[in-house]
Amino acid sequence: MFYDSVRIKVTAGVGGNGCVHFNKDIYNPKGVPAGGCGGNGGSVYIISTEEKNTFVDLVTRKSFRASNGGNGGKNMKHGRNGEDLEIFVPIGTVIFNDETGELIADLDKSGLKIKIVSGGNGGAGNSAFVSDKFRFPNLALKGVPGDELVIRLELKLLADIAIIGFPNAGKSTLISKLSSAKPKIADYPFTSLTPNLGVVKYQEYKSFVIADIPGLIQGASDGAGLGTKFLKHVERTKIICHLLDLSCVLEGRGPLTEYAVVREELINYKKELAELPEIVVGNKIDIPDARAAGKEVEDYFNEKKIPFLMISAVTGEGILPLKRKLGEIFEDVNKKPKQTSQSGKDLILIKVEPEKDFTIEVDEDGYYHISCKALSKLIKQIDFKQRDALMFFNSQLKKLKIDESLRNHGIQEGDTVIVDDFEFEYHSD
């Protein structure tokens, strides 16, 4: 089954905890601080690869988590780092923040790799706090939780040429004749449910990728049928191959009317699609009345100076000339200057505010509320039962210049300060 959209939750690993330990001997009765630091948690990466073509292996597993870092140990033993988790997706995958809808990355080439969430840092052991003023620290930090994010993955096929048209125009049959693709083909008046990709060799050592886009109907750009689900696969194409069912005249329909409907849906969905190079192909000329109808249609497109060919995808008549013509158009398009792909640059994660920025608000009860990402993260790392925890916490208030700002706001001894769910009394040194 073809899966081209999926939501998954990705969670990075938690950093390992730091260790408090002292190596004591006859020369160091107080002990030498020797607690090791925790290892960093693993990060989650998404990588584009040619070996995948759908999200089928992501559909049943909605949550992905990297491994945690190991805890620090005695004798300054560093905890192991958590293993990164790599998720492989098809080329053409677009990644969105599911909550905000923000575009994170467009993986339009093979081998592109993005760190989608970062592992938490390991907590420092007491050996890391040793200084001239802090010779015997009884303090270690807990590991930082890893980042977590729900993302939406959407696949937009990377085809040089897209075959579009009404349902039952013969797109699946045509792609099977042009390439080695093996789509399911049946005689029914409904559209296929999945796009198909194929490689077309039009000269020795020359080829292009072609996709048949399941049938479009009136209102497709507004979601009628499965319209928007399929139209997104046309977005990356270079050339439009518009397939017309010439036999529709036998049912009282007009090929040019159906052509106009599909063109309008392209314009409504994305105007740029209607401006792509186009070739129109009349199909089913193995039916006598269809061949006759094709002569009138041909006059229309000749007047519009739009390339037009007639074929029978069933018998194979006209397939070789069509293949050569598609190759000519493909080469002409490739001679034009190419736009630089934004996704070829370094991939950047979602923008975040600087962690050290902070705000202070005083409520009607005189409580001082501090909002600071760095401080919120630090509080989760500190075990305030440890002897030197509060001393370290106060030093960080000074380092972040929060202590100075509190005084500028008029704080007094004993006033209450609140950071998230943590509440403490203010005391100056």
* Mean of pLDDT values over 94-121: 91
Is pLDDT larger for residue 83 or for residue 198? Answer: 83
pLDDT at residue 319 greater than cutoff 60: yes
DSSP characters over 299-348: HHHHHHT--EEE--TTT-TTHHHHHHHHHHHHHHHHHSPPPPPGGGS---
pLDDT 10s digits, 389-409:
888 898 889 999 999 999 999
pLDDT 10s digits, 133-178:
788 999 999 999 999 999 999 887 667 888 888 888 888 889 888 8
SS3 395: helix
Reference 9, options 55, 42, 41, 44; nearest CA is 44
Is pLDDT larger for residue 365 or for residue 273? Answer: 365
Q: Helix 288-304 and helix 255-269: axis angle, to 10°? A: 50
* Mean of pLDDT values over 26-49: 92
pLDDT 10s digits, 337-394:
655 444 433 343 333 345 678 999 999 999 999 999 889 989 999 998 888 888 889 8
pLDDT 10s digits, 45-66:
999 988 887 788 888 888 999 9
* Mean of pLDDT values over 73-102: 93
pLDDT at residue 233 greater than cutoff 70: no
Task: Give me the torsion for CA of 294, 297, 299, 305, rounded to 10°.
Answer: -120
* Mean of pLDDT values over 190-209: 71
Average pLDDT of every residue of the chain = 84
The reported pLDDT for the residue numbered 15 is 96
Reference 156, options 96, 204, 202; nearest CA is 96
Domains of the chain in start order, with CATH, are 5-155 (2.70.210.12), 161-337 (3.40.50.300), 358-425 (3.30.300.350)
Q: How confident is the model at residue 3 (pLDDT cuts 50, 70, 90)?
A: low
The reported pLDDT for the residue numbered 220 is 37
Q: How confident is the model at residue 90 (pLDDT cuts 50, 70, 90)?
A: confident
Q: How confident is the model at residue 228 (pLDDT cuts 50, 70, 90)?
A: very low
**Rounded Cα–Cα distance for residues 28 and 23 (Å):** 8
pLDDT at residue 229 greater than cutoff 70: no
Q: How confident is the model at residue 249 (pLDDT cuts 50, 70, 90)?
A: confident
